Structure 1
Amino acid sequence: MTSFLALHHTGTPLLLPNAWDHASAAALTAQGFPAVGTSSLAVAAGAGLPDGTAVTREETLRLTRQLGNRGFLLSVDAEGGFSDDPAKVAELAALLAAAGASGINLEDGRGDGTLTPAPVHAAKIAAVKAAVPHLFVNARTDTHWLNIRQDETAARLDTYSRAGADGVFVPGLSDPTAITTLVKSLDLPLNILYSPSGPSVAELGALGVQRVSLGSLLYRAALSAALDTAIAIRSGRSVTSSITTYTDVQDLSHGGHRT
């Protein structure tokens, strides 16, 4: 199997779809995606908890244990590591790796709309790399989502690179000129969050982006489709969209009781 790191250096961006359970991950890999990520929003929403508030550590571990070591590469969205203690974040990373994770996403954004101090986030990255050297650390900064100036983004990514990050992630960044400028300043793969209103995957690749994540988009699309279907049936309209069959879903799990 190609290593997760190698997927970032193929000449075309790694398109990383984000799953939320075994069936969604299995369906994506059946379509030829060599790696999938998890979505912290989906994990939190599935448990009835808020995203980005460091309360879904156990749910994240549980999902990783369900998806790990199943023949595809897995990157886990671990928010900010669920702690500001580097040792605790490293302990979590080791558990995720043991469960089959190939990568981890660590973000510096906080639930209160502020950023973790860069030295604190860098210490988490360094601790993870020391504890689990083979785990791909994707260091995310939320500067663009918080409308913080571009030079702060570059400074933080440089700090995270020096701490040992394997890749960097800037969600909310979609301006081609700003992406090009950032790529030129980096020695690591740049990860961009896909936006339906932003550049295509091919266009991002031409700008030098090496990884494109879908984040919570697929989960939100699935939820929207479920609502549209239920409302259509309630309103007496026919359901015309293509829907995966019961048998197809059963096949994703290789059997089970039919109901």
Structure 2
Amino acid sequence: MTTPDPMTTPAPMTTPAPPTAFAALHHRPGRPLLLPNAWDHASAAALAAAGHPAIGTTSLGVAAAAGLPDGAAATRAETVRLARRLGRDDYLLSVDAESGFSDDPAEVAALAVELAGFGAVGINLEDGRPDGTLAPVELHAAKVAAVKAAVPELFVNARTDTYWCGHDEPEPETVRRLDAYRRAGADGVFVPGLSEPAAIAELVGGLSVPLNVLWTPTGPSLAELAGLGVARVSTGGLLYRAALAAAVATAAAVASGGPVGPLPGYAEVQALSGS
């Protein structure tokens, strides 16, 4: 399949969409958007009830809950089903769509149209592949361009996995890829695995679009990331992994006679269904 080269091919002539409420959350200097990532309706509703104006989905959580591998284009149906349910609620929804579940930009654009129709205001698209390699930069840029041409108002967060795929020199390759994705129309860029403060600050200084990083227990705090100029901080699969750990710990406490709680009550959890 031949895809356009974003470095030589002019961007599609589309009328820029007006700024959205979700986009505005990425342009608050010193106040990065903390985007918690949910894996089902109850987790999203609980996070929204706690005061988060925007909720993302986690591909890891969605895949693991369904007994499927993450990042292998195996969860398109589950992702669409969850977006259909979550998009009806009041918070702003951004969907982690892995690599778009296809290497055909037109199919990725069709998915974006479907998600936006359910109420999603953002989509996350990654260039990492299941075998640990990176998709050709031209291909991923073509996906970004196709989505923006089809749904101009959808906030496209273009992710590069240069720090996760064992690239020999992640810094220059990261810059090259992010520039291509920006030229293709990405509204923001995401570099999971980037946690060294000096590298974050240098990258922010050279970007004209908001930078999203993944929060890690060993990395900078939210306040430190704010000081570095980061615009969005995602939790990724962290909350799902924490929920698994809490479930195992609670079962162990019951077995040993240890204390359990405090926990939400049955009625409180039932209320999260929204029915």
Same fold (TM over 0.5): yes
1:166 maps to which of 162, 187, 190: 187
Query: Could you tell which deviates more after superposition, 107-116 or 224-233?
Result: 224-233
Distance in 2, Cα, partners of 1:240 & 1:53: 37
Equivalent runs, 1:61-76 vs 2, <5 Å = 61-76=80-95
Q: Is the 8 A contact 2:253 2:260 kept in 1?
A: no
Relative to structure 1, the CA distance from residue 153 to residue 252 in structure 2 (aligned partners, 3 Å threshold; closer, same or farther) is same
The question of 1:127 aligning with 2:146 is answered yes
Counterpart amino acid of residue 153 in structure 1: T
Pairwise CA distance, 1:242: 1.8
Runs of 4 or more, structure 1, over 3 Å off, are: none
The root-mean-square deviation of aligned C-alpha atoms, in Å, is: 1.0
Are 1:105 and 2:124 matched, yes or no? yes
Matches within 5 A, 1:1-259: 3-11=21-29, 12-148=31-167, 149=169, 150-234=171-255, 236-254=256-274
The separation in 2 between residues aligned to 1:240 and 1:170, in whole angstroms, is 37
Q: CA deviation at 1:250?
A: 1.5
CA–CA distance in 1 between the matches of 2:132 and 2:149? 29
Bigger relative contact order, structure 1 or 2, given CA contacts below 8 A and separation 6+?
Answer: 2
1:5 aligned counterpart, secondary structure: helix
Q: Residues 56 and 96 of structure 2 are in contact (CA less than 8 Å); yes or no, is this contact kept in structure 1?
A: yes
Q: Cα distance, 1:248 vs. partner? A: 1.0
Letter in 1 for 2:66: A
User: 2: CA distance between counterparts of 1:115 and 1:4?
Assistant: 28
Query: How many angstroms does 1:40 deviate by?
Result: 0.2
Pair 184,254 (structure 1): closer, same or farther in 2 beyond 3 Å: closer
Contact 2:37 2:55 in 1 (8 A): yes
Give the total of aligned pairs. Answer: 253
Q: Aligned letter for 2:271?
A: D
Give the TM-score, by structure 1 length: 0.96
Q: Which amino acid aligns with 1:188?
A: V
Kindly provide the amino acid, as one letter, of the partner of residue 64 in structure 1.
Answer: A
Unaligned runs of 5+ in 2: 1-19
The alignment partner of 2:123 has SS state of strand
Q: Secondary structure at the match of 2:267?
A: helix
Q: Which residue identity does 1:216 align to in structure 2? A: G
| Alpha-carbon displacement from aligned partner over 1:170-199 (angstroms, at most 9, x marks no partner) | 000000000011011100000000001110
- What are the superposed Cα offsets for residues 55-95 of structure 1, whole Å, 9 maximum, x if unpaired? 11011000001100311100000000000100000000000
Please tell me the residue identity of whatever aligns with 1:226.
A
1:2-58 Cα shifts (integer Å, max 9, x gaps): 710001012210000001111111111111100000000011111111000011101
Q: Deviations over 1:184-231 (max 9, x none)?
A: 110000000000111011100100100000001001101110011112
Equivalent residue of 1:192, what SS?
Answer: strand
Q: Which amino acid aligns with 2:25?
A: L
2:247 is paired with a residue whose SS is: helix
Q: Which amino acid aligns with 2:214?
A: L
Give 1:254 shift. Answer: 4.1
**In 2: Cα distance, 1:41 partner to 1:253 partner:** 22
The CA distance in 2 between the partners of 1:142 and 1:242, in whole Å, is: 38
**Contact kept? 2:254, 2:260, Cα under 8 Å:** no
Q: CA deviation at 1:246?
A: 0.8
| CA distance in 2 between partners of 1:117 and 1:20 (Å) | 29
Structure 1 position 237, deviation (Å): 2.1
Assess if the C-alpha contact under 8 Å between 2:98 and 2:124 holds in 1. Answer: yes
Q: Return 5+ residue gaps in structure 1 as ranges.
A: none
